[in-house]
């Protein structure tokens, strides 16, 4: 198992990075990204601290910790400069909190994230065909979400990805121990979105490819 969108108590999660990592190590995870919620106020705090944790933990754990961040409810005009800043600070993975239908995310966030060249557009809601096509052209991954609320549009996102060729990932958006997905539950989320078992294997390979690059 790999998960590329999770949260610790550095934002609104439950655990310090060491416990967070241990929880998924016990579940047999290959890798996990910590992607705490960020804007210009805390990028400089989050990323270096997660990087410190990764430097200490990765040599002694079976599960690899990836240093990430989730730009969250950031005005679209700020997404590109904050993406650049996050990478300069050491983020290996930049996620943007997409236009989920269950939160008042500003319109234009999906497009701004894609144009900024982020790695993953999380729970992009009712992403339009033009934006999904742009994600496909730029190899930016659209997320199927295991999180309540955000998962409501998984079927729509899957269909739009199939129509445009946009690549997919599947993440838990975990905040506490009950959120981490087992392999069986992750497959159930995919199948529930209309993804075939063969297509789900492609999603798993996409996630392995991302981990191999960062």
DSSP assignments along 107-148, one per residue = TTHHHHHHHHT-SEEES--S--HHHHHHHHHTTPEEEEE-ST
pLDDT given at position 130: 98
What's the distance, Cα to Cα, between the start and end of the chain in Å?
17
pLDDT given at position 104: 98
If you search the block for the tokens 């999380």, which residue do you land on? 122
CA distance 37 to 43: 9
CA distance 100 to 105: 7
Helix or strand holding residue 212 (H, E)? helix 197-213
- Domain coverage including residue 204: 2-213
- The C-alpha torsion from 6 through 113 and 140 to 127, rounded to 10°, is 90
Q: How many residues does the chain have?
A: 214
pLDDT given at position 34: 98
Q: What is the pTM of this model?
A: 0.97
Total number of domains constituting the chain: 1
Contact 141, 98 (CB under 8 A): no
Regions of the chain short of the pLDDT cut 70: none
How much is the mean pLDDT over the chain?
97
pLDDT given at position 188: 97
The pLDDT tens digits for 155-194 are 999 999 999 999 999 999 999 999 999 999 999 999 999 9
Q: Which residues pair with 58 in a beta bridge?
A: none
CA distance 151 to 125: 9
Q: Which residues pair with 204 in a beta bridge?
A: none
* Phi-psi domain of 49 (left: phi exceeds 0; alpha: psi -120 through 50; beta: other): alpha
- 48's CB contacts (< 8 A; 6+ apart) are 89, 90
CATH number, domain with residue 170: 3.20.20.140
């Amino acid at each position: 198992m790999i998960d590329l969108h999770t949260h610790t108590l550095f934002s609104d999660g439950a655990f310090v990075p060491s416990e967070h990592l241990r929880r998924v190590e016990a579940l047999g995870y290959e890798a996990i990204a910590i992607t705490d919620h960020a804007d210009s106020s805390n990028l400089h705090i989050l990323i270096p601290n997660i990087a410190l944790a990764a430097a200490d933990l990765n040599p002694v754990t079976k599960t690899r910790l990836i240093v990430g961040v989730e730009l969250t409810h950031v005005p679209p005009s700020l997404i590109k400069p904050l993406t650049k800043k996050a990478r300069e600070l050491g983020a290996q993975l930049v996620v943007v909190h997409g236009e989920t239908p269950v939160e008042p995310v500003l319109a234009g966030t999906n497009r701004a994230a894609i144009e900024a060249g982020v790695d993953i557009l999380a729970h992009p809601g009712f992403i339009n065909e033009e934006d999904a096509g742009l994600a496909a052209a730029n190899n930016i991954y659209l997320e199927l979400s295991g999180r309540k609320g955000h998962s409501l549009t998984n079927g729509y996102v899957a269909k739009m990805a199939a129509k445009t060729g946009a690549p997919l990932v599947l993440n838990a958006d975990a905040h506490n121990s009950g959120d981490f997905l087992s392999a069986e539950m992750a497959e159930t989320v995919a199948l529930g979105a209309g993804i075939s078992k063969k297509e789900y294997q492609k999603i798993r390979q996409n996630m392995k490819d991302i981990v191999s690059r960062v």
